[in-house]
Structure 1
Amino acid sequence: LARANDRLAEAETVAEQSDLIILCVGLDAGIEGEEGDAGNEFASGDKIDLRLPEPQRLLVSKVMEKGKPVIIVTAAGSAINTEADADAEIHAWYPGQSGGKALADILFGKVSPSGRLPVTFYEDASRLPSFEDYRMQDRTYRYTRANILYPFGFGLSYSKTVCSNLSLNGKTVSVDVQNTGAFDTDEVVQFYLKDDSQCAVPYPVLCGFERISLKAGEQKTVTYVIPDCAFESVDDAGVRAVRGTVYTLYAGTCQPDPLSQKLKETLCLSAEIRL
């Protein structure tokens, strides 16, 4: 077992001599996992917060103090708040045996990153409801816009894509997507639906997505058929039914919320659907 601050001075010296720092941090099954599989029996396999372990927090702090460009790469199977204003952050999850090569391809510009978050990254676990509270309030992108570090569906690339010409034909939606940047990239076009019924959730809900590949300067038209179940809501008895008459459809490369559009530097398109 390492002693407190073991090799921290060595890391600081390397950082001082570096032009750019790629700082790799993260977790393993000893900290997060299913009860009985993880080594932290004190928390039944669950993390106790969204922070990095204390020695890694100290490492990040000391490296950031050097004033060099820093890219933080986090390997973890869940949301992490690195609590650092790095020049770039990559959440690598647990990428497997080819993860190192894939990461190198991204870092050195061979490919453009195109992952989108499948979960909400909260800012502070202490502001989340307790595990004993089973209500959805203040949980997930459908019920809260507070305490969000990185929103569901968010992710950046080395290029810039722009959506335009949103059109509807019944439940079939079409939108043009153009890569206006200098890099070839994949993009994930996301469709969200907001119901006007009393049983609807507070915020728009993902009803579909399409991943496309775009060369620099290329434009494609994405067509998607909204499934019938996307128009349903659930009442307090758990019954699913179509209750709304007016729906707002959003199409873009992120959620139609202020934080997502600010981070992505884009705006979602919208159209009205009447049943």
Structure 2
Amino acid sequence: MLNRLSKAGSPQPGQAVADILSGDFNPSGKLPIRFYKDTTQLPHFEDYTMKGRTYRYMSEAPLFTFGYGLCYTSFTIGNAQTSKTEIRKNEDLQLTIPVSNTGRREGAEVVQVYVRKVNDAGGPTKTLRCFKRVGVGAGKTIQAIIDLPYNAFEFFDTTSGVMKVTPGAYEIWYGNSSAAKDLKMTKVNVL
């Protein structure tokens, strides 16, 4: 939208911004970072761990979360159906997630899927593994179909010192931002 061209072929970014502000265009972007409330949420300068620095390790609520976004309509995310509850080596998992536009305007939502290995005390609280932008008409519901490949369950294995998929229970969190209030969860086992 911001690459809008005039009839003469020259860019018109001002008109594109005016279209967004006036509601003629419905934006659907998401934040690629988180915004902290204040400096007390940041770890000490000499602490080089990732704990408290990214959405993957922070437990305190920030001002704006990773994956947060606004638009001129509202969406609700329904309960996902999984293609299976157990995954064998090199098998993929398919999620079917209902996305409802509960507003009065057509819009697009970005469904985000995070994975967490259960009982991984030193690992991240969640890691973004997939996302899908879906257009939904006003008052309509669509099914977002998202394929999670086998390597979406890959995390650092402290025993071997490498990234790999290890057997065990995994949580799949899905929703429209990384905030806990915006996510729903289902579990699968990797054999």
Pairing 1:138–2:60 present: no
Deviations 1:6-57 (CA, angstroms, capped at 9, x unpaired): xxxxxxxxxxxxxxxxxxxxxxxxxxxxxxxxxxxxxxxxxxxxxxxxxxxx
Task: Establish whether residue 257 from structure 1 lines up as the match of residue 180 from structure 2.
Answer: yes
In the TM superposition, residue 143 of structure 1 has moved relative to its aligned partner by: 0.4
- In the alignment, what sits opposite 1:62? none
1:182 to 97, 101, 104: 104
Alignment-derived partner of residue 36 in structure 2: 122
The Cα RMSD (Å) is 2.2
Q: 1:147 to 1:274 in 2, by over 3 A?
A: closer
Specify which structure has the higher proportion of helix.
1
Q: Residue 156 of structure 1 corresponds to which residue in structure 2?
A: 70
Aligned match of 1:108: 22
1:239 equivalent in structure 2: 162
For 1:123-160, what per-residue CA distance to the aligned partner results, in whole angstroms no more than 9, with x for missing partners?
Answer: 22464235553211111001013261100001121111
Partner of 1:248: 171
| Larger RCO (alpha carbons 8 Å, 6+ apart) | 2
* Aligned residue number for residue 272 of structure 1: 187
Which amino acid in 1 is paired with 2:60?
A
| d(CA) in 1 for partners of 2:136, 2:41 | 40
TM-score (norm 2): 0.79
Question: Structure 1's 134 and 99: CA in aligned 2 closer, same or farther, altered over 3 A?
Answer: farther
Instruction: Give 2:8's aligned residue.
Output: none
Q: 1:195 corresponds to which letter in structure 2?
A: K
2:15 maps to amino acid: K
Q: In 1, distance between residues paired with 2:150 and 2:121?
A: 17
Partner of 2:3: none
Unaligned runs of 5+ in 2: 1-10, 85-92
Assess, with a 3 A threshold, how the Cα gap between structure 1 residues 152 and 234 changes in structure 2: closer, same or farther.
same
Instruction: Please tell me the residue identity of whatever aligns with 1:257.
Output: A
- Measured in 2, the distance between the counterparts of 1:212 and 1:221 equals 9
Residues 197 and 243, structure 1, Cα contact 8 Å, conserved in 2: no
Aligned pair count?
171
The whole-number CA distance in structure 1 between the counterparts of 2:74 and 2:15 is 24
CA distance in 2, matches of 1:115, 1:228: 28
Distance of aligned partners of 1:256 and 1:127 in 2 relative to their CA distance in 1, 3 Å threshold: closer
- Compute the displacement of 1:202 (Å): 3.8
Give me the whole-angstrom Cα distance separating, in 2, the residues matched to 1:143 and 1:184: 35
SS at match of 1:150: coil
Distance (whole Å) between structure 1 residues aligned to residue 83 and residue 142 of structure 2 = 18
In structure 1, what is the Cα distance between the partners aligned to 2:12 and 2:169? 47
d(CA) in 1 for partners of 2:115 and 2:41?
A: 27
Runs (5+) with no aligned partner, structure 1? 1-96, 262-267
Code of the residue aligned with 2:115 in structure 1: it is L
Between structure 1 and structure 2, the one with the greater Rg is: 1
Moved more, 108-117 or 244-253: 244-253
Bigger strand fraction: 2
TM-score by length of 1: 0.56
